[in-house]
Amino acid sequence: MGTAKAKKYIILILIFLIAFPALSQNFTQKEIKAAFIFSFAKYVTWKNESALFQFHIAVAGSEEDYNTFKSICAGRMLKDVPIVITRLEDFSDIPHANVLFVSHSNCDKLKDIKKKLKTNTLLVSDNCVNEDDIMINFTDNVPDRKFELNIRNILFAGLEISRKIVTLGGGQEANWQDLYVKTDKELISTKEILAEQKDEIKRQQKILYEKSQLVQRKEKELRLKQFELKRKTDEIRQKEDILEKQDQKISKQESTINTQLEKIGEQRLILLLFIFILIMMIAFAFLMLRSYRIKKKANKQLEQKNTEIHRQKDEIVWQSKELETKNQQLEKLSIVASKTDNSVVIANADGEIDWVNEGFTRLLGYSLEEFKEEIGSNVLSASANPDIRAMINKSIDNKKSVVYTVKNKTKWGNDIWIQTTLTPILDEFGELSKLVAIDTDITQIKLQEERIRKQKQIIEEEKEKSEKLLLNVLPEVVANDLKKKGKTLPEVFENVTVYFSDVVGFTKMSTSLNPQELIDELNDIFTEFDNIIERNECERIKTIGDAYLMVCGMPKNNPNHAENVVKSSLEIIKYLKQRNIDSKIKWEIRIGIHTGKVVGGVVGIKKYIYDVFGDTINTASRMESNSEPMKINVSEITYNLIKDKFIFKERELIEVKGKGTMKMFFVEGKNL
């Protein structure tokens, strides 16, 4: 056993004698020791080693020692972190370091250094004889040992050391040369890996930056849409407030008009009563006069009979008194007609004006003489109503008053609206005796009616605008439900086909176009998309940047939902291909389609947004992300619903995030 061990040491010594001259040709003793220390660290474990962000080696030696360590450790890493080399010149305060090297020239300070040394630090000394203070100490003067160890001090410092170091404590320098060379190769390999990792990090950072830009852009678009929606909502609210105020104003005006109409009705009733009394008085006077004439004739015939004459005389006296009474009453009625605010005109059977009251002058500004001279003396020629003759004939035929409204001009040139009540006065034979026309100024009523008509027209126009604005935000069925009930509840739709698409290379495209040009292009394309899906009874839910989401089968049920969505998709692809012929920007999209259960409803209170939710939406998005440019990718569920109506190409099973493997199909065209 002893012979074998002796042979082993002899072989190690021979290897060392052969290797050392070659080694000394490449490295100085200081460099070899620095390399040893670099290798020591690989076989020592520090507390909380995983939390290191740098590996600190402090050199308590000369400037040459410091530069040697800098040279040996340049570009290297320990414990997967960069190496930091510092020189310790002031020993009053020993900073924390992972490794502290004390050169031979500072061995006299080793004891003080050890006392001030922090735990978790490996102390390496160069040919110091203080055995109680060393941890690892180089021993150049010991033939068969390059360094010695004090395991107790190492463990006391909280460090763990590999058995390999303990074993090599009496080994040859060639072992350390091999260890250093091996470490150097590992460093080169590590550098290559780090370079690849840096390139990968740069690539990932670039992708992250592009995605961040896209997110910022989409957030900006969303804020713009939210601002626009808020503005439109505020406009609707303001217009609703205006409509409410106008309704209140109209109600007040209608109340005022009703009051005025009641007053006019009362005045009309008074005038009709006056006319009736006047007619009765005229009829009575006519009868009295006729009776008087008859009796006068009889008196002539019965002149000889005194008794009869006296009787007739008494009767005539009585009739005279009665006539006087009636004349007094007639005079009072004439005063009433003269003082009323309404105009009263009396004409004979030929239409010639005999008399007007003061109200006539106040209304038109003319005296009777001025009116006859400037306008005319006959009702037929002076009236502003072109149908006056027909009105008179109608009143005579029906033996009752007729009412008409006509615009007239005053003496001062003002336009006024007059409502005329034309009453015929007939004699005992039914022939026209007099015409009585009562004119009422209704200009204010007409103006008020015109204002009300215009306000109602404005209200209807604003209401129509509000309804159109609401239809731009919500589907028609949901908007109508919201208008009728004031609210709308979320609803589950069992059979809905969902379409999802986005633009290929949109991020690169958005950087090459100015914002206005990009928005114009998207607006042009999405407007045509809207026209296509509307023809196929589909509903657009929303656009998010370059993404377009639409459905069929909600909010109105549609048994052909899957067929309609695929038809729309084929038309969209056809439209883009045709558009790209003459367009400098070549637009390509990926389309994904899936069918299933969807929840739909209005989100928000102040800002109405109709949105859809459910796993079907997520699956449609997965179909789109696994599609190819200018192709329509549908799920197996959608395929089974319409496989007889379109031409499909089955794809290989595809692994889908969160779904596992799924069958998918490309739509090639429509079955003829």
CATH code of 533's domain: 3.30.70.1230
Predicted local confidence at residue 24, as pLDDT? 40
CATH number at residue 102: 3.40.50
Average pLDDT over residues 99-113: 88
Predicted confidence (pLDDT) per residue in 480-517, tens digit: 666 665 556 678 999 999 999 999 999 888 888 888 98
Question: Does some domain include residue 223?
Answer: no
Asked if residue 667 has pLDDT above 90, the reply is: yes
* HSE (side-chain half, CA atoms, 13 Å) at 366: 22
pLDDT digits (tens, 9 = 90+) for 120-157: 899 899 899 877 888 999 888 877 778 888 888 888 88
Q: What is the 3-state secondary structure (H, E, C) of 393-407?
A: HHHHHHCCCEEEEEE
Q: Domain boundary residue among 107, 139, 171?
A: 171
Q: Is residue 319 part of a domain?
A: no
- By the 8 A CB rule, do 601 and 489 touch? yes
Task: Give me the pLDDT at residue 32, please.
Answer: 86
Is the residue at 501 inside a domain?
yes
Residue 37 pLDDT class (50, 70, 90 cuts) = confident
Can you name the residues that pair with 420 across neighbouring β-strands?
A: 404, 439
CA gap 563, 565 in Å, rounded: 6
Residue where one domain finishes, among candidates 112, 142, 171: 171
Neighbours of 572 (CB within 10 A): 23
Per-residue pLDDT averaged across 640-646, rounded? Answer: 95
Listed residues 171, 191, 216: the one ending a domain: 171
Q: What integer pLDDT is reported at residue 552 of this predicted model? A: 96
Q: Which residue has the higher pLDDT, 654 or 236?
A: 654
CB-CB neighbours of 287 under 10 Å: 11
Residue 105 lies in a domain: yes
Residue with tokens 């009777």: 368
pLDDT band at 322 (very low <50, low <70, confident <90, very high): very low
Reading phi first (left if > 0) and then psi (alpha if -120 to 50, else beta), residue 399 is in left
Quote the pLDDT of residue 330: 44
Question: What b/e sequence results for 293-317 when a residue is b if at least 16 CB atoms lie within 10 Å of its CB, and e otherwise?
Answer: eebeeebeeeeeeeeeeeebeeeee
Tell me whether residue 159 is in a domain.
yes
Please say if the pLDDT value at position 23 is more than 60. Answer: no
Q: Which pLDDT score is estimated for 507?
A: 86
Model confidence pTM above 0.85 = no
Query: What average pLDDT is seen over the chain?
Result: 80
What domain range includes position 606?
A: 486-670
φ/ψ (deg, to 5) at 92: -70, -30
pLDDT band at 317 (very low <50, low <70, confident <90, very high): low
Q: What percentage of the chain reaches a pLDDT higher than 90? A: 24
Element holding 441 (H helix, E strand): strand 432-441
Q: What is the pLDDT of residue 5?
A: 37
CA–CA distance, 588 with 143 (Å, rounded to integer) = 79
pLDDT for the residue numbered 482: 60
Q: Does the structure show a pLDDT above 50 at 13?
A: no
57 inside domain: yes
**317 CB-near residues (< 8 Å, 6+ apart):** none
Residue 259 lies in a domain: no
Q: Is residue 20 part of a domain?
A: yes
Residue with tokens 């010594």, as numbered in its chain: 13
Name the band, by pLDDT with cuts 50, 70 and 90, for residue 619. very high
The domain total for the chain is 2
pLDDT score of 318 more than 70 = no
Instruction: Give the gyration radius of the chain's Cα atoms.
Output: 57
Highest mean pLDDT out of 93-107, 367-381, 580-594: 580-594
Most confident range (mean pLDDT) of 421-435, 599-613, 637-651 is: 637-651
pLDDT at residue 172 in the model? 38
SS3 readout for 586-622: CCCEEEEEEEEEEEEEEECCCCCEEEEECHHHHHHHH
Residue 15 pLDDT class (50, 70, 90 cuts): very low
More confident residue, 155 or 21: 155
Q: What is the mean pLDDT of residues 428-443?
A: 86
pLDDT band at 326 (very low <50, low <70, confident <90, very high): very low
Specify the higher pLDDT residue, 633 or 1: 633
Q: How far apart are CA 383 and CA 416, in angstroms?
A: 14
Reading the block at residue 427, the tokens are: 């004699």
